[in-house]
């Protein structure tokens, strides 16, 4: 029985090696057939980044308008300097 177990282990290892080689060749074939656009991000990535930029612009706009109203109200009170400054 001992020689049979060695034979079975070697056969299993050979089968795993062959399957790994087949997978590797398949991945290489897929990679070679893929369109070559290394510099362009995918459309999904571009859409996501555009949404994030739009959200950042909106949040910057609301911050700027709230800061503008506080500065306008401070200027209406006759103070020309920063808050707490009477200059």
Residues lower than pLDDT 70 in the chain? 1, 37-42, 59-83, 85-87
CA distance 7 to 79: 93
So what's the pLDDT on residue 9?
95
Cα angle: 38, vertex 30, 40; to 5 degrees: 15
Q: Is the model's pTM score more than 0.85?
A: no
Question: What pLDDT score does 64 carry?
Answer: 46
Is 87 in contact with 81 (CB distance < 8 Å)?
yes
């Amino acid at each position: 029985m001992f020689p049979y177990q060695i034979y079975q282990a070697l056969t299993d290892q050979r089968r795993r090696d062959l399957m790994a080689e087949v997978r590797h060749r398949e991945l290489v074939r897929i990679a070679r057939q893929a369109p070559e656009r290394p510099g362009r991000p995918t459309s999904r990535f571009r859409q996501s980044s555009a949404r994030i930029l739009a959200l950042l612009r909106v949040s910057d706009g609301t911050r700027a308008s709230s800061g503008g109203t506080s500065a306008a109200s401070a200027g209406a009170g006759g103070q020309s300097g920063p808050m707490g400054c009477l200059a």
